[in-house]
C-alpha cells in the first residue's frame, strides 16, 4: 500500500488551523450599504422584490445611517427616489432635490464616521428612465449627458457627499466630473467609477426600488455580458481619467472580470452585489431551499477572493453583525 505523498488536509483538520490558514477575510469595513430615500413619505416603504429592504423616509434614513456608523461598516451609497421627474432629470442637480437634501441630512448626522457616497446617474430623475438625456430619435446623447453629470456631481459635492458613484456608463464621465470638481475646489471629493457595468437581468428588483420609468433597455451604454476584455478596458480608461476606485457590477456573474480588473489596475477595485443577487438568495431562503446566512457569507467571501477590496451589498449591516460576533 502506498501512502499519499502530499496531505493538504492537514491544513483543514481543526477550526483553529482552518482559521489560521484562511487566505481571504471579510471584515465590516469592507462593506458598503446601498440605501434608498423616497421623497414625500413619512414612513419607510417596503420593496416587494427585496424583502428586508425599504425605501426610507428622510427620518428613517438618518436613523439607519447612524446605525450603519455604529456597526462601523465602510460606508453607505445613497439613491434618491423623487416625486416629480422630467426629460433632463432636473431633480438631480437641484440642491433641494431629494438625494441632495438627504445627503446633507446624513452628513450632518454622521460626518466622516463612515464614507457617505451618492449615486451619480440620471435614471432615477428622468421621466423616460434612461441614464442620460435623449436625442430627438430617442437615443442617449452622450456629450449632452456629461453636462448634466457635471452639474449633478457639483450639487452632490456641495451637499457633502464624500464619494460620487458614477453609474451611468457614458464615455468620458469620469474625466468630465473630475475636472468640474477640481475647478470648483472639490479636489478631495472621491470618484467611484462603475467601470465595468453590464447590461442584464440582475437589476430587476432595483428598478422597483427606485420606481424606474425605463421602457426598453440600457444595452447601448452598459456592457454586453459576453465581453470581459472590454470591462478591463473601461476600468483602465477610468483610472486614466482620474477614478479613485473602479467597480465591477453585478458581482457573481462577473467574477472573472473582477479578477482581470484587479490584475490590471493599481487603484482599489470594488464590486456591487446587486438587487437580483440579493433577491435570489432571499427567495430561496424563504422557501427553506438554502441556508441563508451561509449563502450570504460565502457569496461575499467569493467576491473578495476574486479580487474585490470592498463590496456594495444590501446585506452589509447584517453581515457586519455576524462577522463581529465571529471574532
Ligand atoms: C443606475 C443604477 C442601477 C443600479 C445601481 N445604479 C440600475 C441600472 O443600471 O439599471 C442597480 C443596482 C442593483 O440592481 O442593486 N443609477
249 annotated active-site: yes
Q: Whose CA is nearest to atom 6 of ligand 1?
A: 167
C-alpha 4/C-alpha 205 separation (Å) is 50
Inter-residue contact 204 to 45 (CB < 8 Å) = no
Inter-residue contact 75 to 309 (CB < 8 Å) = no
What pTM was estimated for this model as a whole?
0.97
| DSSP per-residue string spanning 211-225 | T----S--TTTSBPT
State whether the beta carbon of 119 lies less than 6 angstroms from ligand 1: yes
Nearest to 33 by CA among 165, 211, 196, 166: 165
215 annotated active-site: no
Distance in Å, CA 281 to ligand 1 centroid? 18
- Digit-by-digit pLDDT tens for the chain (327 residues) are 689 999 999 999 999 999 999 999 999 999 999 999 999 999 999 999 999 999 999 999 999 999 999 999 999 999 999 999 999 999 999 999 999 999 999 999 999 999 999 999 999 999 999 999 999 999 999 999 999 999 999 999 999 999 999 999 999 999 999 999 999 999 999 999 999 999 999 999 999 999 999 989 999 999 999 999 999 999 999 999 999 999 999 999 999 999 999 999 999 999 999 999 999 999 999 999 999 999 999 999 999 999 999 999 999 999 999 999 987
C-alpha 102/C-alpha 99 separation (Å) is 5
Domain ranges of the chain: 26-326
Inter-residue contact 99 to 90 (CB < 8 Å) = no
Domain 26-326 has CATH 3.40.50.450: no
Q: Which atom of ligand 1 is nearest to the CA of 122?
A: 16
| Cell numbers at 320, concatenated | 457586519
Distance in Å, CA 3 to ligand 1 centroid? 54
State whether the beta carbon of 121 lies less than 6 angstroms from ligand 1: yes
Count of other CB atoms within 10 angstroms of residue 98: 24
Amino acid at each position: 500500500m502506498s501512502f499519499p505523498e502530499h496531505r493538504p488536509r492537514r491544513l483543514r483538520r481543526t477550526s483553529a488551523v482552518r482559521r489560521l490558514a484562511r487566505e481571504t477575510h471579510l471584515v465590516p469595513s469592507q462593506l458598503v450599504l446601498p440605501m434608498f430615500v423616497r421623497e414625500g413619505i413619512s414612513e419607510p416603504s417596503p420593496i416587494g422584490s427585496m424583502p428586508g429592504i425599504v425605501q426610507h423616509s428622510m427620518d428613517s434614513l438618518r436613523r439607519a445611517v447612524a446605525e450603519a456608523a455604529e456597526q462601523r461598516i465602510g460606508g453607505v451609497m445613497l439613491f434618491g427616489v423623487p416625486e416629480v421627474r422630467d426629460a433632463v432629470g432636473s431633480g438631480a442637480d437641484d440642491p433641494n432635490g431629494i438625494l441632495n437634501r438627504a445627503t446633507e441630512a446624513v452628513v450632518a448626522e454622521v460626518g466622516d464616521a463612515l464614507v457617505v457616497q451618492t449615486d451619480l446617474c440620471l435614471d432615477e430623475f428622468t421621466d423616460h428612465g434612461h441614464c442620460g438625456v435623449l436625442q430627438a430619435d430617442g437615443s442617449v446623447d452622450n456629450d449632452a449627458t456629461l453636462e448634466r453629470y457635471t452639474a449633478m456631481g457639483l450639487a452632490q459635492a456641495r451637499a457633502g457627499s464624500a464619494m460620487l458613484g458614477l453609474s451611468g456608463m457614458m464615455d468620458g464621465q469620469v474625466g468630465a466630473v473630475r475636472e468640474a470638481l477640481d475647478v470648483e475646489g472639490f479636489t478631495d471629493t472621491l470618484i467611484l467609477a462603475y467601470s465595468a457595468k453590464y447590461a442584464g437581468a440582475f437589476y430587476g428588483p432595483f428598478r422597483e426600488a427606485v420606481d424606474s420609468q425605463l421602457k426598453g433597455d440600457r444595452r447601448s451604454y452598459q456592457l454586453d455580458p459576453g465581453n470581459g476584455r472590454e470591462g478591463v478596458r473601461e476600468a483602465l480608461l477610468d483610472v486614466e481619467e482620474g477614478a479613485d476606485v473602479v467597480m465591477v457590477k453585478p458581482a457573481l456573474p462577473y467574477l472573472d472580470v473582477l479578477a482581470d480588473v484587479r490584475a490590471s489596475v493599481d487603484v482599489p477595485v470594488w464590486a456591487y452585489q446587486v438587487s437580483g443577487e440579493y433577491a435570489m438568495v432571499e427567495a430561496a431562503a424563504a422557501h427553506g431551499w438554502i441556508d441563508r446566512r451561509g449563502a450570504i457569507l460565502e457569496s461575499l467571501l467569493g467576491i473578495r477572493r476574486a479580487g474585490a477590496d470592498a463590496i456594495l451589498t444590501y446585506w452589509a449591516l447584517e453581515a457586519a453583525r455576524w462577522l463581529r460576533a465571529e471574532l
